[in-house]
Every structure is written in C-alpha cells, then in structure tokens.
Amino acid sequence: MENKEVIIIGGSYAGLSAAMALGRSLRNVLIIDSGKPCNRQTPHSHNFITQDGKTPKEISDLAKEQVLKYKTVTFHEGKVVKIIKNEDDFEVETANGEKFNAKKIILASGVKDMMPDIPGFAECWGISVIHCPYCHGYEVKGKTTGIMANGDMAFDFTKLVFNLTKEVTLCTNGKSALNEEQTEKFNQHKINIIEDEIAEILHKNGQIQKVILKNGKEILLEALYAKIPFEQNINVDDLGIELNENGFIKVDMMMKTTIPGVFACGDNTTMMRSVANAVAQGNFAGAVVNKELSEEDFI
C-alpha cells in the first residue's frame, strides 16, 4: 500500500491546480482520475484569460504536462469507489482494488450531470445545449435561443440570457411555476413561455435544428440553455461529508469540508462551474493543505 501526504481525487482543472501548488511545496501527492470530465463534449472553452477558445482537453493536457514536471506529483488512472478515515490517515480504494493512503484528501471530483430522458439532449450537451452564459453565451449571442428551466431559477437565469439575445423562448417542460409578476415581466419583454413537455431535440452533429414538443409542435432554435440536476461523482456518504441544500459539498472559506483533513474544490462545491473558477479554487485548496501539513510537521 502506497503512502502519500495528499491524495487528490479528480485530475481536471481544480485537481491539477491543487497539485501544482502542492508540488511546488515539495509535497508527496497522488492524483487519481477516472478520465471522464463533464465537459468532454464541449468543443471550446471560454472566459479564462490566456486560454480562451482552446478545447477543454488542450487546457487539461497542458496543465497535466506542467504539473507532472514536479517530481513529487504522480498521476494514476482509476475510479475511486471508497474512502475510509483511519485514526491517523485516510485509505482510498479504486474500482480495481488498488489502495492508497494519505494524510489529507482533496476532493476535486466534479459532478455528474443527470441527462433528462429526451432523445438528442445528451448528444447536444456542451455543444448547443449549454449550461452557462459566461462560458458559452457570447458564441450564441443574438441567436434564436431557448431556456429549459422553471420557477425562480428560470426567471433569474432568463435575465442573463436576455442580455445576450432578445430571441428568447422559455420552455418550462411542464406547468409553469412562475408567479404572476414574473409571468407579466416575461410578457412585457415578449418572451414566449411554452409549458408543453419536450419530446425530442433534432440536431446535426450536436447542433440543434429544432425542438419537438409532445403535442407535436416544433420550435426552431439555434441554442438551448438547460438547468438540469446533477449528482456528486464520488460517494461522500462513506465519510459523512455534508452537502448543502443545493447538493454541493459544503466547504468553508478555507475549502475545508465538514470532515477534518478532507478538502474540496471545483465544480463539486459551487454552481459557478467554469474552468477559471476551478483553477482558482484548486490553487487555494492546495495552498491551504500545504499550510496545514506545515503546521503539523512543525510541532
């Protein structure tokens, strides 16, 4: 069984950023990654200075190359299935039965988007069915755009999208949960509200052609924002780590979870899902973990 100072679960932007901070601090670090980032279909990444317009893989490949130049950092491909807290450290087990130990754990494991049972949705996800106006909005500015959301979330989200295009249709995908005031505001801005459920998304290579409703009607769209549910990529119940009301790992200002010695950063902690944010959180988490180890070593 291999012993490390820090095991980072997740080797994408947050995990690699944390690893760089720790590697530069001479910490013995193992990154374990399953190789399935949530943005693997996304053709281009945006809103991250110096990397704007590159593919997600280009950014992560270069990051991995740079991080692994630090000799105390190693990378292991595998899916973590269990984390056990021992008296003095943590034991991490992969799906292949491999076991590793470390003093500290950083969860940079991201989240798994739960695709709705709508034919064509998954094939368009990250391409023309998109989640974030900051990551993708500029590229679809002025285009005929749909928003698949409901209630307060739909109302707040539509304000951001309406800034980028006035050709907006709200698809509540069921009975609208907007209140009277919100509905009136949509009417004032000539935003059509469609309550009929979506049956299918017709597309060509992930690019939306039209949305087919269950009542047989069609909506011509060029882009569709969608707010869909997610789940954590890793089972945090083993350790008793708390999630917040939105399903994200609960962390304090120092990226500490509710379990001492376990930290979290990136998409699994925040609804602000972007490469830039993940990198920033990872860098900070790595620095905090190094500080904690330094204080423990100095006793």
Final residue of a structural domain among 226, 252, 267: 226
Q: What pLDDT score does 1 carry? A: 57
Q: Residue ranges of the alpha helices (H) in 81-145? A: 121-124, 133-136
> Which phi-psi region, left, alpha or beta, contains residue 175 (left: φ > 0; alpha: ψ -120 to 50)?
beta
Residue 297: exposure state from Cβ atoms within 10 A (0-12, 13-18, ≥19): exposed
Q: What is the pLDDT of residue 3?
A: 86
Residue whose pair of structure tokens reads 């949509």 in the numeric block: 186
Residue 222 reports pLDDT greater than 90: yes
Same domain, 169 and 269: no
CATH number at residue 205: 3.50.50.60
Residue 206, both tokens: 């992930």
The answer to whether residues 140 and 240 belong to one domain is: no
| Domain count of the fold of the chain | 2
Domain boundary among 192, 226, 260: 226
Residue found under tokens 């023309």: 128
Sign of the C-alpha dihedral computed for residues 178, 180, 184 and 187 taken in this order: positive
- Tell whether 204 and 234 lie within a shared domain: no
pLDDT at 85: 95
* pLDDT above 80 (res 103): yes
Is the same domain home to 105 and 199? no
Shared-domain flag, residues 152 and 98? no
Would you state the pLDDT for residue 43? 87
Residue 163 has pLDDT above 90, yes or no: yes
139 and 73 fall within a common domain: no
Last residue of a domain, one of 203, 226, 249: 226
pLDDT at 144: 97
Q: What is the pLDDT of residue 38?
A: 74
80: containing domain? 2-113+230-297
Q: pLDDT confidence of 2, banded at 50, 70, 90?
A: low
- pLDDT tens sequence across 66-95: 999 999 999 999 999 999 999 999 999 999
Count of CB atoms situated within 10 Å of the CB of 82: 14
* 206 and 129 share one domain: yes
Q: Which two tokens stand for residue 146?
A: 């749909």
Q: Per-residue confidence at 37, pLDDT binned at 50, 70, 90?
A: confident
